[in-house]
Amino acid sequence: MLETSKDLLYVVISFCILWITVFMCWMIYYVAMLLKQAYDVTKSFKSKLEKVEGLIDVAKDRLEKSSTHMALLAEGVGQVVKYVINKKETKETKTKGKKK
């Protein structure tokens, strides 16, 4: 089988190539798994970011609706205050007119 030292060299070189091939396959596998994990993390981050964005949109809509209600409420309170002030002024003018 091994007649010369050249044959031994070829056997050693073939084993080296075999181990380099095994190492490269192992390395490619781990790089692929690393990329898959990075993809999963970014996918998860995207979904969580979309949920947060949806929550912000809902809060924004509710604030806009409540602000319109608050504007109407403030306008109504302003009209009630004006009515009370006018009523008070008319009472004061009536009582002042009677005292004289």
Looking at the whole model, is its pTM more than 0.75? no
What is the pLDDT at residue 23? 98
What is the pLDDT at residue 100? 53
CA atoms within 13 A on the CB side of 86: 6
Q: What is the per-residue pLDDT across 2-50, written as a single tens digit (0 to 9) for each?
A: 788 999 999 999 999 999 999 999 999 999 999 999 999 999 999 999 9
Q: What is the per-residue pLDDT across 55-100, written as a single tens digit (0 to 9) for each?
A: 999 988 888 888 777 878 888 888 888 988 888 888 777 776 665 5
Q: Alpha-carbon distance 72 to 80, whole Å? A: 12
What is the pLDDT at residue 97? 64
CB 7 within 8 A of CB 14: no
CB 2 within 8 A of CB 11: yes
What is the pLDDT at residue 98? 63
Contacts of 11 (CB under 8 A, 6+ apart): 2
